[in-house]
Amino acid sequence: MTARRVVVAGAIVADRRLLLAQRGYPAEVDGLWELPGGKAELGESPESALRRELREELGVEVRVGTALRESVALRHDLVLVALRAYIEDGSPRAVEHRALRWVDADELRSLHAEGSLVPADTAWVPELLVDLARR
Ligand code: DCP
């Protein structure tokens, strides 16, 4: 069996809004919105990987919380997980993305309905809507 690499994404919710990042590549997902993150390095924990990716991609320091329940098999050797994250320092900037935006529950539902989310990330919409109703 091949070892599974983890891709971690951050679910950052604050003031009843979720931070989404707009991808610029590859072409299939250009312009679509995702939870920011990336591949864990070999031997790197998902938590450390998320802290590193969000530092690189958004310029923020985060505290990492619990995982969302759904995980998504991207390929046979790649699994995508989302961890809740809380910004402790810095203001998010689109260092590697086209743009960033904070969305409320209605905006998240609309982006989902119009097919503007990265396909794999749609698995998290129900759980994200619950979080958005709480925090
Ligand atoms: N992915 C996703 N949803 C997310 C984050 C990532 O579906 N919220 C997918 C897109 C890619 C894979 O996970 O197929 C890896 O994501 P990135 O390209 O963002 O990660 P890296 O920047 O680490 O990858 P690379 O080094 O290949 O550029």
Per-residue model confidence (pLDDT) at position 3:
73
Ligand 1: residue whose CA is nearest its atom 14 = 74
What average pLDDT does range 115-127 have in this prediction?
98
Residues with CB under 6 A from ligand 1: 7, 9, 34-35, 37-39, 74, 80, 118, 120-121
The interface pTM score, or ipTM, of the predicted complex is 0.93
For residue 134, name the pLDDT band (cuts at 50, 70, 90).
Answer: confident
Closest approach atom of ligand 1 to CA 121: 3
d(CA 102, CA 30) in angstroms, rounded, equals 19
Kindly state the percentage of the chain with pLDDT values over 70: 98
CA of 70 to the centre of ligand 1 (A): 17
> How do 99-103 and 5-14 pair as beta strands?
unpaired
Q: With contact defined as beta carbons under 8 Å apart, do 62 and 51 qualify?
A: yes
**Mean pLDDT along residues 87-114:** 98
State the closest ligand 1 atom to the C-alpha of 37, by its place in the atom list counted from 1: 5
Please spell the DSSP secondary structure of the chain, one letter per residue: -PPPEEEEEEEEEETTEEEEEE---SGGGTT-EE--EEEPPTT--HHHHHHHHHHHHH--EEEEEEEPS--EEEETTEEEEEEEEEEEES----SSSSEEEEE-HHHHHHHHHTT-B-GGGGGGHHHHHHHHHH-
How far apart, in whole angstroms, are the C-alpha atoms of residue 70 and residue 57?
A: 23
Nearest CA to ligand 1 atom 28: 38
Distance 9 CA to ligand 1 centre (A): 9
Average per-residue pLDDT for the chain: 96
**Two tokens at 35?**
């939870």
Write the pLDDT tens digit of every residue in 1-32.
Answer: 567 899 999 999 999 999 999 999 999 999 99
* Ligand 1 closest atom vs CA 35: 8
pLDDT at 1: 58
Q: Once rounded to an integer, what is the mean pLDDT over residues 37-50? A: 97
Closest approach atom of ligand 1 to CA 34? 8
